[in-house]
Structure 1
Amino acid sequence: MTTRRIRRVVCATLWGSALAVSSLSASSLPASAAGPDSILSSDGSAVPSAVGAARGLASFAGTGGGSSGGSGGVVVSPGASDPLDGFSAPGSVIGSDGRTQITATTTFPYRAIVEILFKQTAGGGYYGCTGWMIGKDTLATAGHCVHKGSGGSAGFYDRTTYILTPGRNAATKPYGTCKARRLYTVAGWANSNDTNYDYGAIKLDCTVGTKTGWFGFYWQSASLTGSPATVTGYPCDKPSGTMWTMSGTVASTQTRKITYTMDTYGCQSGSPVWRVHPSYGRAAMAIHTNGGSSSNSGTRLTEAAVANLRSWRDAP
């Protein structure tokens, strides 16, 4: 199974500046000596540990409403890709395409799904991913949407290039756009390109989550096989800025991965793999990261990953 390709997107205007060199992990250990779930942040800021054990956190529907505005001038080019970006994802639409478009993007939980646009290199084109709000100013996504997967603390992408649009529906951006204040991932991804640890987060420069609400998230030691699951995001093979979803069940469970046959495409990396949970509401069990010819897969939320998401959400 191969890592999801981040699809290139075409921009009419330039955004941001040259790649910044990021700072060291918040851990007291150097990244090379840290455990695979040890946190790295793009500015080296300390991240408080999550207080108290928790199997998960509940979703919050938000206040609704919206705001005018938006970045403008940035459109997704369906099917476009950069063959040199290192993310390969053949055949992640399995058989006939079963995805359906979400047009009511201001309803919960869809308004908490975020289109992510960013640059991997200074002067290059935009790339696309998907994220999902986990707090008032924090979204979760795939690690490869914030970090190149090597180089440790120096491998973060330039946070100033990020354009983050919750609940986008084509040209309509009901909650405007936000920028990134800080990027997070873990040592297992940042040092080793290990897809078992392909998860991260973005701290926003806004508190749009109070309006959009946010997803819950949880972990369980028992198998997830057979659990209902939905993958929702912004694929680049569909019209620019449109949200698509597909539901099914978890096909198999590994220690740090789950597989499923819901269809996905480039730019859906980072999407929540979620369900309606009896305790946590609309809650994610994994983060979509990988595509394949017969199944797709996501990085499973473990106890350590849930603790990190909580820490990132609660960080100032």
Structure 2
Amino acid sequence: MRNLIRRSLLIISILLLISYVLKEKSVDASSLNNDDTYITEPTKPIKDATPVDYEIPQENLRPIEEATGSDIERILGKDDRILVENYTSYPYKTIVLLNMTFNNITYIGTGTVIAPDTILTAAHNVYDSRLGGWATEITAYAGARANKATIGKAKVDKKYVLPEWINSQSSQHDLAVIKLKTSLGDQTGTLGITNEMKLSEPIETAGYPADKGGWTLYKGNGLLKKFTNFNVYYDIDTYGGQSGSPVWNRDKKIIGVHAYGSSPLNFATKINDTNLKLIKKWTNIPVGHVYNKDVTVSKSNISVWNDFQFHIKKPLTHIKLGNVYKAKYIYKHNNGQTYLSLYDNKNKWIGYFNKRDVSDLKGTLLNKKVKINKNNYVIWDSFYFDNKKGLSKNFYGKTLNAKYSYVLGNNEEFYSLYDSKNKWVGYINKKATQ
């Protein structure tokens, strides 16, 4: 009987241990998923436009798709493309017209500025074995219109394509990065990049379709209908010449590079984690990982940056000691510093903060009975201090449970209050209690 009891206890112990280990593995897997999400932020231009004439007339240039035999019309039913009238406004000014020369013939395509000296585009705009291999010359025109590029132009210095594209030229790997000889992105701004996407999320694309002249920007809106490990699919009309166009989400972050037409859906090369790591390597852009923590500004006289070239500082007018923001992403820069990308409670991007200038906002378990002894304090719904949950005068003289304590970067301490029925009351400054 004793042996039976011992065996039973041993089996129970083993099962509990297995359960614990499995639980721990589940937690680890969750954290790994976060680590596999990468991001770069969009940036605004910092220099004025310098309009230039085209080097060659644009009206007779053909889209690259015609030359490669992949000229498939990509209008899905009714043509829903929209002329971009504000083509010199952000984010459309980041989308550039490409002139690519193969075998002494120049073709048109589309690209997107993702760093001051870097453009993201389709690989077949850069390398195609059917056209003899690498393009011998590529010029990028920003703010393209019939007579000139109204923002500026840049020549390409270096070209990179996914290694698999050279070997297979598969639609799964049709992505390229081209480095410029000058910083055209200072005049256009940049779009961000992410490998994070959701089915049915609203997306947009824009480019230079050949059937509209080839120098006029058209856009389309739709939904992300499907994605695989290598491609994203959507119900947006496109046409030849738009290969290399960005497909971006509401946050102005690119999730794919348009390259192909099909039925019933057009599709792009996906920004997956492997591709984004290569983009990082080729461009030297710091790539962020998901952080998703509330932080509080804990130092004065700080710098908040618009980009990782540190060209321009963001204004500090509304950034005060003790302010709380959502740190969505964390970046380890090659200068040895760590930066956080901060957003306000309305999901508006604030800028890049050095991590040493903020502190994670963490609650400390307190479970202390306190009495409200001031009647002129606000009880807040959050530490963004934009929504009042109540007033201290409504609880004057009452004893509540301060379950947690929070200290902001300005050393102001707040209690998270609960009533006798364990219902949350809100956040109140410690000074309103005794």
TM-score range, shorter chain: 0.7 to 0.9
CA shift, 1:142, in A, is 0.5
CA shift, 1:198, in A, is 0.7
Q: 1:231 to 1:303 in 2, by over 3 A?
A: same
Q: 1:184 to 1:81 in 2, by over 3 A?
A: closer
Contact 1:150–1:193 (Cα < 8 Å) also in 2:
no
| Structure 1, unpaired ranges of 5+ | 1-51
Query: Counterparts of 1:70-109 in structure 2 under 5 Å?
Result: 70-77=53-60, 85-109=67-91
| Structure 2, unpaired ranges of 5+ | 1-34, 286-434
* Cα RMSD after superposing both structures: 2.4
In the other structure, the counterpart of 1:297 is 267
CA distance, structure 1, for counterparts of residue 183 and residue 133 of structure 2:
27
In the other structure, the counterpart of 2:52 is 69
CA distance, structure 1, for counterparts of residue 215 and residue 149 of structure 2:
9
Contact 2:175–2:257 (Cα < 8 Å) also in 1:
yes
Q: 1:150 to 1:237 in 2, by over 3 A?
A: closer
The code of the aligned residue for 2:141 comes to T
Secondary structure at the counterpart of residue 211 of structure 2: coil
In the other structure, the counterpart of 1:131 is 111
CA distance, structure 1, for counterparts of residue 192 and residue 181 of structure 2:
21
In the other structure, the counterpart of 2:124 is 144
1:239 is the counterpart of 2:209: no
CA distance, structure 1, for counterparts of residue 98 and residue 71 of structure 2:
18
1:155 is the counterpart of 2:133: yes
Q: 1:170 to 1:64 in 2, by over 3 A?
A: farther
CA shift, 1:71, in A, is 2.6
Deviation track 1:5-55 (CA, whole Å, cap 9, x = no partner) reads xxxxxxxxxxxxxxxxxxxxxxxxxxxxxxxxxxxxxxxxxxxxxxx9761
CA distance, structure 2, for counterparts of residue 231 and residue 135 of structure 1:
19
Q: 1:176 to 1:95 in 2, by over 3 A?
A: same
In the other structure, the counterpart of 2:20 is none
The code of the aligned residue for 2:50 comes to S
1:117 is the counterpart of 2:104: no
In the other structure, the counterpart of 1:20 is none
CA distance, structure 1, for counterparts of residue 102 and residue 186 of structure 2:
29
CA distance, structure 2, for counterparts of residue 134 and residue 251 of structure 1:
25
CA distance, structure 1, for counterparts of residue 86 and residue 283 of structure 2:
26
CA shift, 1:68, in A, is 2.7
Secondary structure at the counterpart of residue 176 of structure 1: strand
CA shift, 1:155, in A, is 2.8
Contact 1:144–1:198 (Cα < 8 Å) also in 2:
yes
CA distance, structure 1, for counterparts of residue 57 and residue 279 of structure 2:
29
The code of the aligned residue for 1:234 comes to Y
1:284 is the counterpart of 2:254: yes
CA shift, 1:86, in A, is 2.7
Deviation track 1:173-195 (CA, whole Å, cap 9, x = no partner) reads 12222111011102110111121
CA shift, 1:81, in A, is 6.3
Secondary structure at the counterpart of residue 144 of structure 2: coil
CA distance, structure 2, for counterparts of residue 269 and residue 99 of structure 1:
15
Query: Counterparts of 1:180-219 in structure 2 under 5 Å?
Result: 180-219=156-195
In the other structure, the counterpart of 1:38 is none
The code of the aligned residue for 2:179 comes to K
Q: Would you tell me which structure has more helix in proportion to its own residues?
A: 2
Identity across matched positions, percent: 25
Deviation track 1:282-311 (CA, whole Å, cap 9, x = no partner) reads 110000011113211001101011112222
Contact 1:228–1:275 (Cα < 8 Å) also in 2:
yes
Secondary structure at the counterpart of residue 210 of structure 1: helix
In the other structure, the counterpart of 1:60 is 43
Deviation track 1:54-91 (CA, whole Å, cap 9, x = no partner) reads 6110000112520032334321348x568973331423
CA distance, structure 1, for counterparts of residue 59 and residue 227 of structure 2:
33
Q: How many residues align?
A: 252
CA distance, structure 1, for counterparts of residue 152 and residue 40 of structure 2:
26
Q: 1:62 to 1:84 in 2, by over 3 A?
A: closer
Q: 1:306 to 1:150 in 2, by over 3 A?
A: farther
In the other structure, the counterpart of 2:401 is none
CA shift, 1:156, in A, is 1.8
CA distance, structure 2, for counterparts of residue 309 and residue 201 of structure 1:
7
Contact 2:63–2:210 (Cα < 8 Å) also in 1:
no
Between the two structures, name the one with larger relative contact order (CA 8 Å, sep ≥ 6).
1
1:266 is the counterpart of 2:240: yes
Contact 2:64–2:241 (Cα < 8 Å) also in 1:
no
CA distance, structure 2, for counterparts of residue 70 and residue 120 of structure 1:
22
The code of the aligned residue for 1:146 comes to V
CA shift, 1:256, in A, is 0.8
Secondary structure at the counterpart of residue 163 of structure 1: strand
CA distance, structure 2, for counterparts of residue 167 and residue 81 of structure 1:
18
Secondary structure at the counterpart of residue 75 of structure 1: coil
CA distance, structure 2, for counterparts of residue 233 and residue 94 of structure 1:
16
The code of the aligned residue for 1:218 comes to T
In our comparison, the structure showing a higher alpha carbon Rg is 2
TM-score of the pair, normalised by structure 2: 0.54
Which consecutive segments of 4 or more residues in structure 1 shift more than 3 A? Answer: 80-84
Q: 1:171 to 1:103 in 2, by over 3 A?
A: farther
